[in-house]
Structure 1
Amino acid sequence: MPATPDEGRGIKSTRTTFAIVEALHDTRRARLTELADRVGIANSTAHEHLATLQELGYVVEEDGEFGLSLKFLDHGTQAKRRYRDLVEASTPALEGLVAETDETVNLVVEEHGQAVYVDRLTGERGVPTNSWVGKRKPLHAISAGKAILAHLPEDRLEAIVAGRELPPATDRTITAREQLQRELEEIRERGVSFNDRESHDRIRAVGTPIVLDGHVHGAVSVAGPAKRLTGEYFRTEIPDLLLGAVNEIELKLTYR
């Protein structure tokens, strides 16, 4: 759900424009009146913003419906280049994990207090989930996110979780800050994190942070159907594979 245009600080018209962009992201295609209703603005205001976005090439219209243009793909590709070294160093290890597990393997970083998927490979047995490259999720609800949280500096961790709700994705998601703190301590001790149907009722995942010189660069996770990721395979075999893969990534980043 996009933010209402008058929330927070900053320029109201800019906030309105991006509320429309986010609404188009969520709906994929929508008519002007639908967008105005979702954002909470007048039809005339929505028309002015859409006209400007079209003029600048960020929105396309077809049969009275509006959608985001491929200009955002260009910007997204440029943004991902910030993580070029990380992606390049990680790719062979991610491919190795896919070969070993035949599951879905993710590379995740933290940005603006959220988990962002920057790479994703899927084996033949890998199942579709509600994640993709560019997708943002709450850090506390996924294994890679919790692995990152556990290794952030205390002030950064505090800035992310203090005064915020921890929204549930399922009835197993951690929503209490004290419980999250205890789990983060356990993650630091064992080096891996677990997502036991916390982001999706039918998905389990294991995550491991990528840490160099005390700085967490991101995390890698292996995800699959909860009925397949069970017992020793979930609790021991996948963690061992992940730890080896992340060690490889850390060495490559060190000696690039």
Structure 2
Amino acid sequence: MLSATRCLPSPRLQTASHTLPKDLLYRDLSSQICRSSQMGETSVSEVKKKRTAKLVASKQEFRDVPEKQKPLSSYMQLPASQYSVLDGRKVERISETTFKCYVGQLKFLSWSAEPVVTLSVDVEPLGCTIKLLSTELRGSPFVQDLNSRFEAQMTNQVRYRDGSAPNIKQITSNSFLEVELEVPGWCSFIPNSQIEGVGSSVLQNVLNLSVPRFLAQLEKDYELWSSGDTSRKPVGEL
């Protein structure tokens, strides 16, 4: 019985009529190699895929403004060329509708940066919309290298509306800020949730401080304009 088993023909030694043709074997082997190569390329691309974090903040604010000699509606519809820069130390006029704003130092994790943003102002029937055109981070060489690693979007819709009394109006602000950041390699040990949480908190603090100040400056500038002051000089600090 044992010797008979040894005499059974091996599947690999079957006659040529039952074996796969060589060209079919070659094609099958090539197909397997191809699939293996593609899987390798996919793995490499996954490793090289950039890791990003999204930082988001928003702020809605309003301010009651007593109406003066000239209506607030006329002030809010002034062309952008007649806008005061509000704070001459932090805001620079680039053109009739474009301004550069120096935000000041911001701290994030273990580093700090000084953003400089360029903004456009589009005047509309009920106010204006401020949009972010570009952002530059100033600071250490490491911070400057981040300029090619993030994209930012920001809008601030500034409007006016009736207030709680006939002689009271309101200036409203609806701001939204979003930053998509490529996470540096040295941050690989920090979870995305922590980076996004800390970063969004920093952006939220910026809006929480700057938006109320901005509306207060608008009210002060409106009072000067309504009294006949057309110099459009800066009125204070943001």
* Superposition TM-score tier, normalisation by shorter sequence: under 0.3
Q: Tell which structure's C-alpha radius of gyration is larger.
A: 2
The structure with the greater share of residues assigned to helix is 1
Identify the structure with bigger relative contact order (alpha carbons < 8 Å, sequence gap 6+): 2
The structure with the greater share of residues assigned to strand is 2
